[in-house]
């Protein structure tokens, strides 16, 4: 559906056509991608190539398909997928681009524009430094288009970008193209019917939170009432957000039992067979497709990171193409991929973040509610959140203000980044580059912690011989996994499958499982632990506080799979989800290929082949 460009889109496109760097901050779903499309068109017409980066592989895959469907010569680089790498437009994860910059990939010289989608990921504690490294180290002649959700300190962020890249236009919009109505809903002890006790629909937003006895009678609405409420408001498709995988699945099953099977599922069955028709009966059962199809036939689905990638992709396709009315999902659905709904329902204001149970932040609330309202389809989007009487009333009032959080740098020196800076610039100039970080910009007053840490890690790497041993150097800079610092010291000394699996396990970034090592592998584990102690002694010598730690949680799982060649047996034995196993296996396969190329170790080729199983690698994309 065609629609008139918004003013902020026109302004951003004009700045791009004028050859400027551009930072766009606007709400989710406001049409930032269209600006990127115009930039891509301009630079390709000028004979330059474009790199479009995303923070997650799922979003990279989606963008790859979208741009390919528009007839653009498009390539994809995500580590586990490498397609048409010399295309005019390359879709890549930010880590891929960062590595291209430091390895001085010849394709960089052909680039005219880099698009940094979801650039506010710069605040991410684990991966945020990658965005800063790109902005600092990308050749200055290449222009940058940064796309972000609204942030609270965009002028500070802009000033830093200008200090690194030169003239940059900030184009901002706080207007959602589809207005959002947010409602706080509840039910009472005497009546299960859902009622709205606070809503942005009331422009006066009158104070309703008083110490009144009736507010003590509020209770969380039942799922049955929530489904009826959404239906009566004609607010499907809808996403019900829960902060637990188990709840997502159990609520979807409950909803499927409440809703009868739809009469016409012919198209769904044809689509289902086209994607899953090549599976063996064992693979079919492993993916739990009987139950999933039962849910989908009732226009119900669920989505979380523990699902097999092929199932997640299929659910996303079903939702986008209106085969599903109610989707139960964790917050991972809100991260990037384009799956808008007419309404969203937030079950609870509390979430467990891996460390503690806390109230959701404004940024998280904005990310979730960003899914509500489809441009060109809906006149309004709806967001419902359940009232919780344990929460102070002013918290809800504050949440309804919808003001974004500030963007705070989480830049830190990984061993990989320190090594890359030393290799590219030398120690002195590399140290000066550290001072260019957004972290340093935000902490101007005598904060020398980064510089001290940089020098200390240079010393550790020097003591370990990284500046004289090219294989060690190359592997650490290509993987950016500090935990490999331990295993790399053993790579030339040990050469068997168990060692290779333990080495790979130490670098897996996916969810960890607390699984002990069998006693027959205790000698091998001891070698890793002795090496860890050696590394830690060097770190103590050079005053590094956060020591490198060994985590080989995935070793027993990988070992069992290699031995049995049976995924179902392996995940059942260790009580892990299929999705987590596949993600870790894909990561292990990707690393295996890199180690094999650098060290020429055939064991890593063998492991990579083992992880080429149909279910592990199967994709709709």
Classify each residue of 314-340 as buried b or exposed e, where b means 16 or more C-beta atoms within 10 Å of its C-beta: bbbbbbeeebbbbbbbbbbbbebbebb
Question: Chain-centre distance of CA 42, in angstroms?
Answer: 29
Report CA-CA distances (Å) from 183 to 274, 277, 381, 501, 612.
41, 43, 11, 51, 47
CA 76 to CA 44: how far, in whole Å?
17
Q: At a CB cut-off of 8 Å and minimum separation 6, what does 132 contact?
A: 122, 409, 411, 437, 438, 439
Residues forming a β-bridge with 184: 198, 385
Whole-model pTM? 0.89
- In this structure, what DSSP letter does residue 29 have? T
CA distance 455 to 421: 12
What are the b/e assignments for 380-404, b being 16+ CB within 10 Å? ebbbbbbbbeeeebeebeebbebeb
Residues whose CB falls within 8 Å of the CB of residue 336, separated by 6 or more in sequence, listed in order: 54, 55, 56, 58, 59, 117, 118
Strand partners, 357: 352
Closest by CA position to 120, among listed 482, 431, 362, 483:
362
Query: In sequence order, what DSSP letters do the residues of 386-403 get, joined into one string?
Result: E--TTS-HHHHHHHTT-P
Q: Which residue has the tokens 């959080």?
A: 405
Beta bridge partners of 199: 183
State pLDDT tens for residues 357-411. 888 887 788 888 888 888 788 899 999 999 887 887 778 877 777 677 789 999 9
pLDDT in tens, 145-184: 999 987 889 999 999 999 999 999 999 998 888 888 999 8
Backbone φ and ψ of 416, nearest 5°: -65, -45
Query: Which regions in the chain score pLDDT beneath 50?
Result: 1, 204-206, 211
Round to whole Å and give the CA distance between 316 and 110.
Answer: 35
β-sheet bridge partners, residue 113: 50, 143
Structure tokens at 583: 């993600």
C-alpha dihedral (195, 201, 207, 212), degrees to nearest 10: -10
Rounded Cα–Cα distance for residues 161 and 20 (Å): 12
Are β-strands 168-172 and 82-83 bridged in parallel, bridged antiparallel, or unpaired?
Answer: unpaired
What pLDDT, on the 0 to 100 scale, is given for residue 1? 46
How many Cβ atoms from other residues are within 10 Å of residue 617's Cβ? 16
Instruction: Tell me the C-alpha distance between 346 and 372, whole Å.
Output: 12
User: Domains of the chain, with CATH numbers?
Assistant: 7-172 (3.40.50.300), 180-399 (3.40.50.300), 469-617 (1.10.3380.30)
């Amino acid at each position: 559906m065609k629609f008139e460009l918004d003013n902020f889109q026109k302004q951003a496109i004009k700045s791009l056509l004028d050859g400027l760097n551009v930072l766009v901050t606007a709400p989710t779903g406001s049409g930032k991608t269209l600006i990127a499309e115009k930039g891509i068109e301009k630079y390709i017409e000028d004979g330059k190539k474009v790199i479009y980066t995303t923070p997650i592989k799922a979003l990279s895959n989606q963008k790859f398909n979208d741009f390919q469907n528009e007839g653009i010569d498009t390539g994809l680089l995500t580590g586990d997928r490498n397609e048409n790498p010399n295309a005019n437009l390359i879709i890549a994860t930010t880590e891929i681009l960062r590595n291209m910059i430091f390895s001085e990939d010849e394709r960089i010289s052909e680039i005219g524009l880099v698009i940094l989608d979801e650039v506010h990921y710069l605040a991410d504690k684990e991966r945020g430094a990658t965005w800063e490294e790109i902005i600092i180290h990308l050749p200055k002649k290449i222009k940058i288009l940064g796309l972000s959700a609204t942030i609270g300190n965009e002028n500070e962020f802009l000033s830093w970008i200008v200090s690194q890249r030169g003239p940059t236009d900030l184009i901002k919009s706080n207007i959602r193209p589809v207005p959002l109505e947010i409602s706080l809903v509840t039910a009472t002890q005497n009546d299960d019917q859902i009622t709205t006790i606070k809503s942005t629909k009331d422009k006066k937003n009158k104070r309703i939170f008083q110490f009144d006895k009736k507010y003590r009678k509020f209770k969380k609405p039942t799922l049955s009432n929530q489904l009826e409420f959404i239906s009566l408001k004609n607010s499907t498709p809808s996403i019900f957000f829960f902060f637990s995988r188990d709840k997502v699945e159990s609520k979807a099953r409950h909803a499927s039992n409440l809703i009868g099977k739809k009469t016409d599922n012919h198209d769904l069955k044809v689509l289902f067979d086209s994607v899953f028709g090549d599976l063996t009966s064992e693979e079919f059962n492993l993916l739990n497709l009987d139950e999933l199809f039962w849910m989908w036939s009732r226009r119900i689905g669920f989505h979380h990171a523990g699902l097999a990638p092929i199932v997640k992709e299929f659910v996303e396709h079903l939702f986008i193409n209106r085969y599903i009315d109610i989707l139960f999902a964790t917050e991972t659905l809100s991260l990037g991929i384009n799956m808008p709904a007419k309404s969203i329902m937030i079950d609870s204001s509390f979430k467990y973040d891996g460390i503690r149970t806390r109230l959701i932040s404004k940024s998280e609330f904005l990310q979730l509610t960003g899914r509500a309202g489809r441009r060109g389809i809906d006149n309004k989007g709806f967001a419902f959140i359940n009232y919780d009487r344990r929460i102070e009333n002013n918290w809800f009032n504050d949440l309804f203000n919808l003001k974004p959080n500030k963007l705070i740098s989480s830049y830190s020196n990984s061993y990989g980044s320190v090594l890359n800076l030393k290799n590219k610039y030398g120690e002195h100039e590399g140290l000066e580059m550290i001072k260019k970080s957004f972290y340093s910009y935000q902490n101007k007053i005598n904060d020398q912690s980064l510089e001290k840490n940089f020098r200390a890690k240079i010393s550790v790497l020097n003591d370990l011989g990284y500046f004289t041993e090219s294989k060690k150097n190359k592997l650490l800079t290509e993987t950016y996994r500090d935990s490999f610092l331990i295993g790399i010291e053993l790579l030339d000394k040990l050469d068997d499958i168990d060692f290779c699996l333990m080495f790979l396990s130490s670098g897996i970034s996916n969810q960890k499982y607390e699984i002990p090592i069998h006693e027959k592998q205790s000698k091998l584990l001891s070698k890793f632990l002795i090496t860890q102690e050696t590394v830690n002694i060097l770190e103590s010598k050079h005053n590094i506080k956060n020591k490198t730690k060994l985590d080989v949680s995935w070793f027993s799982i990988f070992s069992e799979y290699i031995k049995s060649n049976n995924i179902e047996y392996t995940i059942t034995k260790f009580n892990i989800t299929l999705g987590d196993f596949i993600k870790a296996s894909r990561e292990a396969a990707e690393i295996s290929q890199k180690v094999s190329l650098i060290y020429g170790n055939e064991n890593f080729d063998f492991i990579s082949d083992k992880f080429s199983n149909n279910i592990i690698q199967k994709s709709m994309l």
